[in-house]
């Protein structure tokens, strides 16, 4: 029969679910590639990440023994917890659908899990050392703020690379100002390369040695302000007990299949001096 459902067609369906879910998760998550991931190996759901102090060297006279320098790292404990989403795909819905149901469900699940991971990581962007905070309520994001953040990190001997993550409504003002004559090159009044990038592609890319990313999962408060940050990857840790996965389970009496996506992880700030929180206005 041409329209029969066989084990091979079911296998292709669930393979599509897994492949689409994993691909979408990896492509959608903004924050995960920008932080440092620590796998939790063995039993337990917590990990202690060592944070090493800054060590100073000093001049020493010839033929003089060096004194011992104690290296006493502190640690940050991150606890992982489960995040998941489930749906039941009935046989009738699967067999009567005109679209690739497996790919659609996989995309939805990948987006849902990626959004949760990004939201948790983005929630740490206002947890860096408060003494270095920049911006404020109603403050527009400008190149000046990024240069200040870069100067603070460099003054603290924080090595490159630097990443910046802001809400798209916050970066709007930065793009707007970079494409105005006030930010044009001195030669002929042409728009700068960074401004042209914003005009052509809608994103900035790099400014002041900082790779700039937009993340709509950053929370906006009741006053239309949000926290972004400029930071080094070692400033934030992602403890991963079990990476993103998709599983299926047949429910014969229901004539359907349960589809479950899950991940087990925890997040935490490791070195609060390795990032600069920047509060900006997100009202358009």
The string of DSSP letters for 69-89 reads: -----EEEEEE-EEEEEEEEE
Q: How far apart are CA 165 and CA 1, in angstroms?
A: 55
Report the length, in residues, of the chain: 284
Q: Strand pairing partners for 88?
A: 258
Q: Which residues of 165-174 are buried (b: 16+ CB within 10 A; e: fewer)?
A: bbbebbbbbb
Residue 17: half-sphere exposure toward Cβ, Cα within 13 Å: 25
Helical axes 168-178 vs 193-201, angle rounded to 10°: 130
Peptide bond into 77 cis (omega under 30): no
Q: In this structure, what DSSP letter does residue 196 have?
A: H
Interstrand relation of 210-214 and 162-166 (parallel, antiparallel or unpaired): parallel
Per-residue pLDDT, 92: 84
Q: Are 262 and 222 in contact (CB under 8 A)?
A: no
Helix (H) or strand (E) holding 213: strand 210-214
Per-residue pLDDT, 141: 94
284 residues of the chain, pLDDT tens digit each:
344 444 444 455 566 777 777 777 777 788 999 999 999 988 889 998 888 877 878 788 887 888 888 787 788 999 999 999 998 888 887 777 667 777 788 888 888 999 999 999 999 999 999 999 999 999 999 989 999 999 999 999 999 999 999 999 998 888 887 766 555 544 455 555 555 554 445 456 788 889 999 999 999 999 999 999 999 999 999 999 999 888 888 888 888 888 899 999 999 999 999 999 999 999 98
Q: What angle do CA 160, 162, 168 make, to 5 degrees?
A: 170
How many other C-beta atoms can be found within 10 angstroms of the C-beta atom of residue 184? 15
Q: What angle do CA 113, 212, 207 make, to 5 degrees?
A: 175
Per-residue pLDDT, 57: 81
Per-residue pLDDT, 14: 60
How many other C-beta atoms can be found within 10 angstroms of the C-beta atom of residue 211? 16
Q: How far apart are CA 116 and CA 26, in angstroms?
A: 13
Per-residue pLDDT, 202: 47
pTM of the model: 0.82
CB-based contacts of 119, cutoff 8 Å, min separation 6: 217, 219
How many other C-beta atoms can be found within 10 angstroms of the C-beta atom of residue 111? 16
Q: How far apart are CA 198 and CA 220, in angstroms?
A: 23
- Least Cα distance to 112 among 201, 244, 248, 220 occurs for 244
């Amino acid at each position: 029969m041409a329209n029969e459902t066989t084990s091979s067609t079911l296998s292709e369906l669930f393979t599509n679910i897994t492949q689409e879910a994993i691909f979408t998760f990896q492509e959608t998550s903004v924050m995960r590639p920008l932080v440092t991931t620590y796998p939790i190996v063995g039993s337990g759901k917590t990990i202690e990440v060592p944070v090493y102090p800054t060590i100073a060297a000093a001049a020493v006279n010839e033929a003089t023994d060096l004194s011992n320098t104690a290296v006493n790292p502190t640690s940050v404990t991150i606890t992982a917890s489960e995040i998941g989403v489930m749906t039941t795909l009935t046989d009738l819905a699967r067999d009567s659908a005109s679209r690739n149901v497996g790919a659609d469900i996989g995309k939805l699940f990948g987006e849902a899990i990626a959004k949760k991971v990004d939201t948790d990581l983005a929630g740490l962007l206002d947890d860096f050392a408060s003494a270095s905070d920049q911006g404020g309520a109603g403050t527009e994001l400008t190149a000046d703020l990024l240069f200040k953040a870069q100067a603070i990190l460099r003054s603290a001997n924080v090595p490159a690379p630097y990443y910046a993550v802001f809400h798209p409504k916050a970066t709007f003002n930065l793009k707007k100002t970079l494409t105005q004559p006030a930010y044009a090159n001195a030669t002929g009044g042409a728009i700068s390369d960074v401004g042209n990038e914003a005009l052509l592609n809608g994103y900035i890319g790099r400014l002041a040695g900082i790779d700039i990313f937009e993340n709509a999962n950053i929370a906006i408060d009741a006053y239309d302000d949000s926290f972004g940050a400029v930071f080094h990857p070692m400033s934030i840790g992602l403890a991963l007990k079990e990476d993103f996965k998709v599983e299926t389970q047949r429910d014969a009496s229901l004539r359907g299949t349960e589809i479950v996506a899950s991940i087990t992880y925890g997040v935490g700030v490791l070195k609060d001096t390795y990032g600069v929180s920047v509060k900006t206005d997100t009202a358009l």
